[in-house]
Amino acid sequence: MKDNKRHTPDGFKDSLPRSYQFKLNLKRKIENIFYLSGYSPISSPMLEYAEVFEGTGSAPPRQMYRMIDREGDILTLRSDMTPPVARIAAANFTRSDLPLRFYYTENAFRCHQSYKGKAGEFTESGVELLGGGGAEADAEVIALAVNSLLAAGLTEFRVYAGHAGFFRGALEESGLPDEDRAAALRYMAGHNIAAAEALLRGKQMPYGVNELSERLNMLTGDAGILDGVGKLVHNETSARAVAALREIHGALADYGLSEYILFDLGMTGTLDYYTGAVFRGYTRGTGFSLLDGGRYDNLVKQYGQDFPAVGFSLKLDNLAAILDAGGESVSGGALIAYTREGRKMAFQKAASLRAEGIRTENSLTMGAPRSFYETEAKARGLSRVCYFKGGDA
């Protein structure tokens, strides 16, 4: 029988000092990029009313941790930061305050049927730009996503940009029944291209859409794909999507970041609230995205205000694991050692070093040989020993 006193629930884990310190340092670097770009910090409660998430197109209800308060209201642990930020914006700001630029680092929670490595609790760092419509705002947020990964120390990555309207428009043009279109969108959102191709194979559709349906695994590439694949469909929804992606590409080129951008015209977004540009960030050797984002112009109105909005969230735990699976060792720092006679001076020196921003630990062993403290400092990742015997260090 498992001793639950010594274990965490499935999907949850402890953060030990070295790996947690690395994650905190990563958080500071990323948040500094957000702050320097004009974004302000925001926080929401861990518990929200279930209505905040219902009908938003966020995580499905079966993935939410739910409980009932003493008033009988259903509460949920937040599963996604975007709906709470939309609620905060609608409840506390008006159109005269726009644009609103927020950033956050918060934990979110999801209950999975079978965890198999999936986290029940995970940390997201992200931004939301509310009140900015169109390609300029989209490009600003995508550029911020790229710069946050660069600031974290990641160099080999790509951000794939698509548009929720392109594939939807192609399916509208196809003339297929609603149930087939819904299934195709669901498969594409779940990255199940084989299933989408099988569903569409042999269907009677216009030539261009039929050609597109046979090339679903070839919808990714550089900006040239906007011309090549874009010419296969002839509907206003898809045409607007391609035009928006061209504008975004032009702005990102002016940011000097186009080398990090690829396009994926099969991308629809994993969350149903996306209405325009969508994007994901990947690095080599991983099968999961490091960040996800997009435009969600219809979400804020569900809370009483009609603000266009775009944002992204970065999966801080995944990024930390990629950059340093073993955690960060302490760099520099000092070990303070002393005899009883030198203790007062030792404590004064420790306070002085900490005031300078130097990590300083006291040895809890008093009056040992200096070689003992040098071994202790090395084991704890500290680069120097300050030994006080009663007047001299």
CATH classification at residue 246: 3.30.930.10
Residue 292 lies in a domain: yes
Residue 4 lies in a domain: no
Asked if residue 92 and residue 230 are part of one domain, the reply reads yes
Asked if residue 317 and residue 357 are part of one domain, the reply reads no
Asked if residue 227 and residue 258 are part of one domain, the reply reads yes
Q: pLDDT at position 245, please?
A: 96
Residue stretches of the chain with pLDDT short of 70: 1, 113-117, 269-271, 325-331, 391-393
- Domain housing 376: 334-388
Residue 328 lies in a domain: no
Residue 107 lies in a domain: yes
Asked if residue 359 and residue 305 are part of one domain, the reply reads no
Asked if residue 180 and residue 226 are part of one domain, the reply reads yes
Asked if residue 221 and residue 191 are part of one domain, the reply reads yes
Q: Residue 95, exposed/middle/buried by CB under 10 A (0-12, 13-18, 19+)?
A: exposed
Residue 3 lies in a domain: no
Q: pLDDT at position 211, please?
A: 84
Residue 393 lies in a domain: no
Q: pLDDT tens, 121-158?
A: 999 999 999 998 899 999 999 999 999 999 999 989 99
**End of a domain among 283, 304, 323?**
323
State how many domains the chain has.
2
Between CA 297 and CA 306 the distance in angstroms is 8
**pTM surpassing 0.75?**
yes
Strand partners, 360: 334
Asked if residue 358 and residue 297 are part of one domain, the reply reads no
